[in-house]
């Protein structure tokens, strides 16, 4: 018995190790997809909890300029101040429904002097592709804004920001352009409404509750890991059957018949019918 196990390991040990490594990789990839799904479900829940909530004062959510909690994403806040229209910035490479365009970012200086960045919507690229054909102007004078909070975005590689344009809404970079101002760097706001009202670009809409294909991918990776062991068992059994057939041929004996399930007799069928109605 020990000798047989030794021969098996010598013959199939490498394949077994390979299958184990593959199964571990499948398990790790499956766990990664589970984590991605958990993140997507949490993001959907934040939309459900916050998007249609009653607006609150900005200070209750962002007590400091760099304050931010992920659970506050999409929370509507109320702000009163004046737009710094001369410091309007365009954020490039912002597609909407497959169309290229820009986000219009305008600083709003609050009554206490602090500055909060408001995304006043999306505009399509213009005929020259370098700038939009037109941008709705932010209103003059004092305005009351309701905006939904979003976190500061990361920088994009080695992308540089040119005058009046940004590669991403990285708020510390925006703060550098607004030198001398106290700028909120933890979050900015997607415009929901303005009072008095004014023309705006295309405003953002409520995100669809789509968690993506992560669950199916996680289950697929688990299935791949199991199938690897099934394939190994099948290969071992096939090799053993071929070895038996070759041994029988060398001994001049008929090849062993493969095992087939016993056919049911009439009595077996009758018993099954009685069990079903009994």
pLDDT digits 0-9 by tens, 208-234: 888 889 999 999 999 999 998 888 888
Question: Which of 151-155, 247-251, 262-266 has the least mean pLDDT?
Answer: 262-266
* Domain extent listing, the chain: 26-51+214-250, 55-195
Q: Which three-class secondary structure state does DSSP give residue 278?
A: coil
Does 19 have pLDDT greater than 70? yes
| Closest of 214, 230, 227 to residue 31, by C-alpha | 214
Do the strands 56-57 and 76-83 form a parallel or antiparallel pair, or are they unpaired? parallel
When the candidates are 2.60.40, 3.30.70, 2.40.50, 3.40.50, the CATH number that belongs to 55-195 is: 2.40.50
pLDDT of res. 189: 96
Does 244 have pLDDT greater than 80? no
Crossing angle of helices 2-50 and 214-250, rounded to 10°: 170
Does 278 have pLDDT greater than 60? no
Question: Which of 2-6, 12-16, 248-252 has the least mean pLDDT?
Answer: 2-6
pLDDT of res. 256: 58
Which of the four pLDDT bands, split at 50, 70 and 90, describes residue 253? low
Does 262 have pLDDT greater than 80? no
Pick the most confident of 13-22, 118-127, 137-146, 246-255.
137-146
pLDDT of res. 208: 86
What is the per-residue DSSP string for 172-218?
HHHHHHTTTS-B--SEEEEEEEEES-----B---PPP---TTHHHHH
All residues at 6 or more sequence positions from 100 whose CB lies less than 8 Å from its CB, including other chains = 93, 94, 124, 125, 129
Pick the most confident of 29-33, 133-137, 267-271.
29-33
- Kindly list the distances between the CA atom of residue 213 and the CA atoms of 30, 37, 39, 193, 219, in Å, as whole numbers in the listed order: 12, 8, 13, 34, 10
pLDDT of res. 274: 62
Q: What is the pLDDT of residues 171-214, one digit of tens each?
A: 998 898 887 789 999 999 999 999 998 888 889 888 888 888 99
pLDDT averaged over every residue in the chain: 85
Q: What is the pLDDT of residues 101-160, one digit of tens each?
A: 999 999 999 999 999 999 999 998 877 767 788 888 899 999 999 999 999 999 876 555
Q: What is the pLDDT of residues 60-95, one digit of tens each?
A: 999 999 999 999 999 999 999 999 999 999 998 888
What CA–CA distance (Å, rounded) separates 69 from 42?
13
pLDDT of res. 257: 59
Q: Which three-class secondary structure state does DSSP give residue 38?
A: helix
What CA–CA distance (Å, rounded) separates 234 from 15?
13
């Amino acid at each position: 018995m020990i000798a047989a196990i030794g021969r098996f390991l010598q013959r199939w040990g490498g394949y077994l190790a390979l299958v184990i490594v593959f199964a571990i990789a499948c398990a790790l990839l499956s766990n990664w997809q589970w984590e991605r799904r958990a993140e997507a479900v949490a993001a959907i829940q934040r939309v459900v909890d916050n998007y249609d909530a009653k607006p609150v004062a900005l200070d209750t959510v962002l007590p400091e300029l760099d304050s931010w909690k992920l659970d506050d994403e999409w929370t509507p806040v109320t702000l009163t101040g004046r737009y710094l229209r001369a410091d309007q910035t365009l954020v490039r490479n912002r597609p909407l429904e497959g169309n290229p365009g820009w986000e219009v970012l305008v600083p709003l200086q609050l009554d206490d002097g602090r500055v909060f960045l408001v995304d006043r919507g999306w505009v399509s690229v213009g005929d020259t592709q370098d700038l939009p054909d037109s941008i709705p102007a932010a209103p003059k004078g004092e305005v009351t804004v309701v905006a939904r909070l979003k976190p500061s975005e990361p920088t994009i590689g080695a992308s540089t920001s040119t005058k009046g344009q940004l590669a991403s809404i990285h708020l510390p970079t925006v703060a550098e352009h607004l030198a001398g101002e106290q700028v909120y760097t933890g979050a900015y706001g997607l415009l929901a409404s303005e009072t008095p009202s004014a023309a705006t670009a295309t405003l953002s809409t409520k995100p669809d509750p789509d968690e993506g294909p992560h669950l199916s991918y996680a289950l697929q990776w688990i299935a791949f890991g199991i199938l690897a062991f099934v394939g190994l068992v099948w290969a071992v059994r096939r090799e053993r059957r071929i070895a038996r057939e070759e041994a029988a041929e060398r001994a001049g004996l008929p090849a062993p018949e493969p095992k087939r399930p016993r056919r049911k007799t009439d009595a077996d069928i009758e018993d099954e019918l009685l069990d079903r109605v009994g």
